[in-house]
Amino acid sequence: MTAESHRPARRGLMLILSSPSGAGKTTLTRNLKSENNLDLSISVTTRTRRPSEIDGVHYRFIDRGTFDAMRQHNDLLEWAEVHGNGYGTPRKEVEASLAAGRDVLFDIDWQGTQQIVKKARADVVTIFILPPSMAELRSRLVRRAEDAPDVIVKRLANARDEIARWSQYDYVIINDDLDAAYDAIKAILTAERLKRSRAVGLGDFVDQLLAEELA
């Protein structure tokens, strides 16, 4: 029997994208859905659905009582309060994907990222998306036309606090070109999937390879 018949498997990883609102993480996350073996984690939120959003696709929109119950019963892998609204990641779906050997993609903020990193540092890859400038970030929020002016002001104020957390992430990408940012994330994902530490049974594979006798 050759080593080829016992190629090592790989542990699933959790790929986290964070950014201030308007920097492009949600668009990048949606584009990454087409990647093989990558499941998108759909967060729950208590905030009001925007006109362009679809329940169960962009978020699962729930009331505050349901959110608080999920948090109290430990049904959320992570949770945070952002702009006065609750956001969280349902635990069950993520654990099912990882158990099946699949990778999971997260679109969450720095608070949720810290919670997941503390629980599973070895299996987490974090990426922070920066806007090219604060002026461009404001322009994107205005062009999106989904928030009232006072909400945009609040998002910009919070963005400065979020951007200040950039050094807590494994990788940082400046999103001044959406296609280039997407290619950079794919390169990171490919490299992280090939890490020696993620291979299950690699030592046995090498032992079989070295023991293989050639005819």
- pLDDT value at position 6? 67
Q: Is residue 99 scored above 90 in pLDDT?
A: no
pLDDT one-digit tens code per residue, 115-143: 999 988 989 999 999 999 999 999 988 88
pLDDT tier, 144 (very low <50, low <70, confident <90, very high otherwise): confident
* Distance, CA of 78 to chain centre: 12
> pLDDT value at position 131?
94
Parallel, antiparallel, or unpaired: how do β-strands 14-18 and 124-130 relate?
A: parallel
Domains of the chain with CATH codes: 10-194 (3.40.50.300)
**CB-CB neighbours of 15 under 10 Å:** 22
Render pLDDT for 57-81 as a digit per residue (tens, 0 to 9). 889 999 999 999 999 999 999 998 8
Q: How far apart are CA 117 and CA 124, in angstroms?
A: 6
| Phi, psi of 184, rounded to the nearest 5 degrees | -65, -40
Tell me the whole-structure pTM to 2 decimals: 0.84
Distance set, CA 22 to CA 41, 103, 147, 158 (Å): 20, 25, 11, 12
CA dist list (Å): 187 to 167, 173, 184, 191, 192:
20, 12, 5, 6, 9
